[in-house]
Amino acid sequence: MFMSDSVSINSLENGLILLHDYCKNMQTVAVRLLVRFGTRYEREKFGMAHFIEHMMFKGTNKRNYKQIAIEVEQIGADLNAYTSKEHTVYTINVLKDYLPTALEILSDLIVNSTFHQQEVDKERNVILQEIAECIDDPEEYLFDQFSDLCFKNQPMGHNILGTPESLKEITRDDLIATKERYYNAQNILISIAGEVELKSIVDLLNKNFGNLSLGNKEDFELAQFTPGAIMLNRELEQSHVLIGLESVSYNHPQFYSQQLFSMILGGGMSSRLFQEIREQRGLAYHVSSFTTSYPDIGIFGVNASSLSDNLETLITVMIDVIKSMRDIEEEELNRVKQQFKASSLMAQDSVSFRAEYLLNSYIKYHKIIPISQIVAKVTKISKSEVEDYYHFLKQSKIALGIIGNNNKDEYYNLINLT
């Protein structure tokens, strides 16, 4: 067991890892259960991880789907889940007095879900509606297609929801076999933050999750960034633009320089992109930058929406503003450092954030790094280190995605940082 202040890393009787943060004077307890299984683990029949997530709520040996909902709401808890490229996470927030009940319900879903054929067929249709809803949202649809462009013909690039075609191929037996393969003690982490003593949590988890088999950790295929362009034609009032560049993993020495770079470029109302594109030129209502990092690769990107007639000007100005990042000012660097510090420290007031932070830190580094340590590290980053990240981006592969009604292949030629 590792202990630091209020935080501990513990191994249960079956090898399952528990991350615990004892938070005084909190009425709420946040529970997060992470399964190391997401889109990038899927070799075929894409959408399996997300389908299984849905089925966890559709009935167990003890409860049907309605009883699950009633019992969760009877204790005033908030139960949810989400699937990402790398993980499936189940979340429950509950008043501390009802934690034993909440953990029993959560364990019942994870261990005893039955996957009745009738429920599988119904939930397949629900997910098809979810896919249709995403297609109807042009910006969300662009992001999904852009991911497929950046990681072409790779599991990492596939839509988390799957496709109508892949969903039709997934059988009940597929779901059960895949769930048994990944939902085991080696692949699951549980984090709990709140005013609850460690011993009582360990006893509850050994009781409720003790039957999970040890299992094996699964590997994933390393991702490769693929440059290119995707032009999606659709009759819209605005065109939506995404520019993405291959970037660093979260283990890379430049990871936090990347974060500060992104904040200066497009992280808020004082950022360079917002000031130039919205305030100075009125080219867009929304413009921002984003970063996504994995253990093996990352993406740095900027996105904006504008009237289609403005598209060429918008892309040109976006690239010019990125190029301006070869030189940054000490004042703006200090400003985003303070933003980073404030947002990081203020977030600790939330037990939900604390539970999620434990998971993220352990998944990335196999230890819990205190937030104060990260803030101190970011505070020491120099102007030249952030500027060096720009020179890294200059050498990166580039991808462009546009959805709208005025797309031209030559727009890709505009996105050159050299």
Name the token pair of 373.
Answer: 């340590």
Beta bridge partners of 95: 28
- Among candidates 367, 390, 356, which has minimal Cα distance to 89? 356
Name the token pair of 227.
Answer: 């440059």
SS (H, E, C) the chain: CEEECCEEEEECCCCCEEEEEECCCCCEEEEEEEECCCHHHCCCCCCHHHHHHHHCCCEECCCEHHHHHHHHHHCCCEEEEEECCCCEEEEEEEEHHHHHHHHHHHHHHHHHECCCHHHHHHHHHHHHHHHHHHHHCHHHHHHHHHHHHHCCCCHHHCCCCCCHHHHHHCCHHHHHHHHHHHCCCCCEEEEEEECCCHHHHHHHHHHHHCCCCCCCCCCCCCCCCCCEEEEEECCCCEEEEEEEEEECCCCCCCHHHHHHHHHHHHCCCCCHHHHHHHHHCCCCCCEEEEEEECCCCEEEEEEEEEEHHHHHHHHHHHHHHHHHHHCCCHHHHHHHHHHHHHHHHHHCCCHHHHHHHHHHHHHHHCCCCCHHHHHHHHHCCCHHHHHHHHHHHHCCCEEEEEEECCCCHHHHHHCCCC
CA distances from 343 to 281, 300, 350, 365, 372 (A): 29, 21, 12, 21, 12
Q: How far apart are the first and last CA of the chain?
A: 50
Point out the residues that are catalytic: 53
- Among candidates 391, 351, 66, which has minimal Cα distance to 254? 391
Residues in the chain: 418
- C-alpha 220/C-alpha 38 separation (Å) is 10
